[in-house]
Amino acid sequence: MALGLGNTRAAWAALPLELVVGTIFFAHGLQKLGNPAGFSERALGGIPMFLTYLVIAAEFGGGLLLLLGFLVRLGALGHLCVMAVAISQVHWGNGLTGPGGFEFSLSLFAASMALLIFGPDPISIDDNVGVSIYRSSEAAYRRESVDVGSPTVKGAGALLIIAGILLPIARTYLGIPEGVVPLIIMIIIGLASVAAGAALIGGKPWAYIPAFIMSRLYLAASVLLLLYIKYTLRGIAAVLASLVVLVALRSARRGVK
């Protein structure tokens, strides 16, 4: 797999779009999710509640899909529709710039359109776990063939084990609230991470899929930590560590250029 600047595939351009646009829509959808009735009353002078929930699903749910790199085109399509309505029905009359202008909505519209064209990035769940959705079974079998015996992949497994152990311990440092329920959730996620990492180190090919999904979850959470919770240094460190693990896991795939 070539990662040099001269050989970088165009598909990698989808990664920053997924992470940044996904975070923006996640944040806006989360706000609406906290008060759907209020949004329903304000939007366009009042809209039916079922449309409100569709908007929330497109923004919050679509944002999560982009962050996870899962069903990327579906998430981007939902965002595209929401931004098309926002531009045409809310901001168009205010012009491109200035108060109420459509420049921000247009930027998100263009980014969503780009994701529809690009599709998922090379370290997305779509491209590494859901390959069979987009390709024939024969091609999917070839591309999903993995070799988990390399030191690089075993190193990724070790990082997953470390992350799984530290997650419940350092949860408040990562912006996770106190309480029994958050602690139980973090313990469950940590155990899943440790199990996936241990299976990778043990050379189990089946461990590639759960390890990859877990690593992409870590990347999504790390980006939210950086951009939404605004823990700059720890967010950058978590993002970089997640990217290292994902790239290492991707190196296990045979036949990937």
What whole-number distance in Å separates Cα of residue 7 and Cα of residue 248?
A: 18
Cβ-contact 119, 208 below 8 angstroms: no
> In the chain, pLDDT over 90 holds for what percent of residues?
65
Model confidence at 193: pLDDT above 90: yes
At a CB cut-off of 8 Å and minimum separation 6, what does 82 contact? 55, 58, 59
Q: What is the pLDDT of residue 78?
A: 96
Cβ-contact 49, 17 below 8 angstroms: no
Model confidence at 136: pLDDT above 80: no
> In the chain, pLDDT over 70 holds for what percent of residues?
89
Domain ranges in the chain are: 5-122, 145-250
- The 10s digit of each residue's pLDDT in 27-82 is 999 999 988 888 888 887 788 888 999 999 999 999 999 999 999 999 999 999 99
**pLDDT category, 8, cuts 50, 70, 90?**
low
Tokens 């449309």, residue?
51
